[in-house]
Each structure stands twice: as structure tokens, then as C-alpha cells.
A and B are shown apart, each in its own frame.
Chain A
Amino acid sequence: MSNRYYSSLTKKYIMALMGLFLFTFLVVHLSINLLLVFDPTRVLFNEAAHFMGTNPFIQIFQWVLFAGFAIHIFYGVVLQIQNWIARGKGYKRKALSEESIFSKYMIYTGIVIFIFLVIHLGNFFVLKMQGRVPEFEHTANAGMEDMGLLVVNLFKNGGYVIFYVILLLIMGFHLDHAFQSAFQSIGWNHRKYTPFIKGLGHFLAIVLTAGFIIIPVIIYYR
């Protein structure tokens, strides 16, 4: 945890770069998931899932992704503990300084996302790893798993839909601060471009959150 290995700024660089990397993962993840909305026969989604589950490059890259999550979470926790220690005795009167709202709760939204991630992996990834996904019947490609059915079955349960919507909203709050913050951490703050980066951050947070949320909602009502 000490700063002997990495300075505070190096840790922030790592946080920012891993965070931006996780953004690209979310974009890919959402693009594939949306196939379920546009194609109720699940053929496109299952083919995409099959590709992701069998392509050797993606199989290796999957571990890079896990490492990305692990590093981002590890340094997030380390930095936060250092930050709590740095304040020492707190203020009696709640701090009223003007600041970006979601930036104050990154550790808490982060913890919620982590819990969500564990449950989410349990809902899909673990079942797949255990080979408990039924075979897809509507395709010529024999042996393809019906990952789409897993999703549809889960989201026929209203409780899960509400759970996913709430957790995804919290993820959206995390993302809203994250994007522009990552650019600031890697030293990109420019009179001309920063307003665009900030706008893009809000846009991405809204689009990713809304995109992920409509999937369980549409499946539930379909």
C-alpha cells in the first residue's frame, strides 16, 4: 500500500488507464447484448457469444480484462484508504464546497459495481464455465450454447429486472465522473478539448447505462 512502490500520481495514472480500458469493454459488451433486443430469435446473440467464448484471442484477452478489473479495484481501494487516513479527524460541519457530485461517492458506487459484477458473473459466466448452458436448437451450427436463453429466463423474473436496473443506474453514476476524471489524471486538460471530453463523458455514461437498462426491461415485457 505504501508509496514506496508507486507514487500517488503513478497510481492515479494506472487507475485512469485501467478505467478507460474498462470503458471500451463496456462498449463491446453493450453492442453484443443489444443483439438480443434487435433479434428475438437469439441467433445473432448466440453466435456472438459463441465467438467470444471460443475465439482463442478473446480467450486470452479475457484474462487481460480480469486483470484490468483487479488492478482498477486494487488501486481504487488502496488510494481510498490512504485518502481516509490523510484527513484524520473529520469536520463537525459537513463540507459544503462545490464539487462534482458523483466524484464524492466513487468508492461506494465502485463497491456496488463490484458486488454486481460478482452476481452478474454468477448469473451467466459461472454457468457457462460449468457447462450448464442448454444447447441452442435453432441453428445449423451444432454444439452452440443458448446463452440468450439464459438471459431471457433471468429477465422474465421481475425481481432480477429491478435489481439490474438499480445497479446499472449506480454504475452510470460511477461512469459519469470516471470518464473526464481519467483524462484529468493522465494530464489531459485543455481549454479547447476538455469541454468536449466532459460532454462525451456524460454522453457515454447515459448511453451505456440506458443501453444496458433497456435490455432487461424489453425482455421482461416482450
Chain B
Amino acid sequence: MDLKLKIWRQASRDAKGKFVDYEVHNISSDASFLEMMDLLNEDLVEKGEEPVAFDHDCREGICGMCSLFINGRPHGPDSAITTCQLHMRKFKDGETIVIEPWRAKPFPVIKDLIVDRSAFDELIQAGGYISVSTGGVPDANAIPVSREKAELAMDAAACIGCGACVAACKNASAMLFVSAKVSQFALLPQGKIEAKERVQKMVAKMDDLGFGNCTNTYACEAECPKEISVTNIARMNREFFVAKIS
């Protein structure tokens, strides 16, 4: 496959960025998107140019490190996958691919396609934890948890914190991320103890960091590589209301 690429280049956080056009040739349709980016970078290095900076780590859809807003969609034109799991067969030969960083005020661009997602770390620090010493592994079934609750908590805990929800949302809202964290704890007995405090602190932090407000467009759910459901957002809204009035 031969492809035209339009990639956002920005030398540093404060530098003024711009789109730069590139071409890549003889790309296998079985190559992954990041392998295509690697090939582009090898070309650039050979030519003595600065390679394109992009985030990646495990390359198997677990770590949440890769990002990229590809042709108008976070993680590109496929559903329930991360960019590293995207294959070139999803594109047409000769197609122009526009590659942009996540765009949100709380996610400033560090370099090229890499954004600073430490706002998510700050959200976790605000309350996304259980403050008890964990000790050894408890016996199975020592704390009874219904199967349904366990499944829902596990579904919420599948969030890898990649930020696609923020990138997709027209309001750059972090509601899906925060609600997944709030839910995974609020659903389980260990997390219930601090549930009221947690939801209030995390929401306050989310607002402070400058994320937008949820307008229930559900673009986040559509783009989440782990298919986190917006029912978590409703759960957080309930948790928040109960915490406020009690």
C-alpha cells in the first residue's frame, strides 16, 4: 500500500505546531498502524530528519499508552481497539491519513503526537484508590460479592486510561474515565467505605483540571477501546447525588 500522511508536528510544548505531509510506500496491509509509523520514522532517520514522536509501549492493547486521533477518530477507524491493534487493511491504497494528537486543554501536547496525560494521574491521586493496607491475598469468598456486581466492577476496571474518551468527546469531558474509576470501587464492598468522599474529590479534581462537562453524546462509549459503558456515568451521577445529600 502507498499512503499519504498528514501529521501534526510540534517541536515542544510551547512551540507552534503545524501539519506536515509525508508519503509511505510498499506498506503491507497486514502491518499494524504503529509499524507503519515505525517505517516512516526509519525513513526520516535515514534522511537525517527528526522522527515523529508518538506514545506506545506494550503494543498489545493493554497498557493504554498509545493514542493518536486518526482520520477523525481516537484509535482510528475500528471499534474496541487501541491504535496499536489497528491494521493497515482498514485503509485504502492511496488514502490520505490525518494523524493528530488528543486535543484537550488538560492534555497539552509535549511533542508531535505525544500529549501529557498526567491529568489522569492527578484524578487517580484525588481518590481513585482504597486507603487500607492490603496485606496478603485474602481467601476467596471471605468477602461475599454478588456475581453481577463483580462483573460490573470488572467491566469498569477494564479502563486502561488511554484518554480516548476525552479525545472523542466534543466537550473534552473526562466523565467516562472518572466514572469507570468511581464505579469499580463503589460496586465492591472494599471500595464502598470511601465511596462518598471519593466521588466528590474526583469530580472536584476533574473540574479543577479543566475537563469539559458531559452532554450525553456518548461519543466516549463509541470510541472506548475497552467498551466502557456510559451506565458508569449514570452510576457516578447517582453516587455524587447521594454523597451530596447525605
Contacts and interface: CB of A to CB of B under 8 A. Distances in A.
Interface of A: 3, 7-13, 79, 82-83, 85-100, 103-104, 106, 177, 180-181, 184-189, 191
Contacts of B71: 93, 96
B207 A103 contact: no
B230 A189 contact: yes
Interface SS, B side: mixed
A99 B100 CA distance: 20
Contacts of B211: 86
Contacts of A188: 234, 238
What is the size category of the interface that chain B forms with chain A? 35 or more
B240 interface: yes
Interface stretch (B26-34, B166-174, B189-197): B166-174
A98 B222 contact: yes
A90 B6 CA distance: 16
30 contacts: A7-B240, A12-B213, A12-B214, A12-B237, A13-B237, A83-B171, A86-B104, A86-B106, A87-B170, A88-B104, A89-B103, A92-B19, A92-B98, A94-B72, A95-B72, A95-B170, A96-B72, A97-B168, A97-B219, A98-B219, A99-B217, A100-B216, A103-B216, A104-B170, A181-B216, A185-B216, A187-B235, A187-B240, A187-B241, A189-B233
B103 A185 contact: no
B244 A87 contact: no
Contact of A13 (B69, B207, B241): B241
Given A94-B72, A95-B170, A187 B98 contact: no
